[in-house]
Amino acid sequence: MNNVALQIALEDEDLDAWDGLCGELADAVLHQYPEAKILYVQLEDCPMNWGWHMVPVIDGLVHDAWHPDQILPPAEYVQAVFADSIVIEWEINPEPGMRSRPGPSRTSCA
């Protein structure tokens, strides 16, 4: 199975250009896959220095450009990808305001 988020991220630029823009990438996926949902994960003590992360869920599977081999159902994805982090909460289709959280998503765990 192809990772849709990674494909969209690489259409115009490399993945580094999306650093700090996971919510924007998730929204870009939603434009092409309107039936998709968004998984929001809030973190602490994340080895990747992420305070939160947003990824699209298509047909029940997470498509994360930064973890392209982890195309899993949301609960399994959170467990596999964030096993070394404290997961404060995770939610599918959070309130609309959560999609536009201020600041880059990948610069701190604060």
- Domain regions of the chain by residue span: 4-100
Per-residue pLDDT of the chain in tens (110 residues, 90 and over written 9): 789 999 999 997 889 899 889 989 999 999 999 999 999 999 988 888 888 999 999 999 999 999 999 999 999 999 999 999 999 999 998 655 554 443 334 433 33
Reading the block at residue 87, the tokens are 């997961």
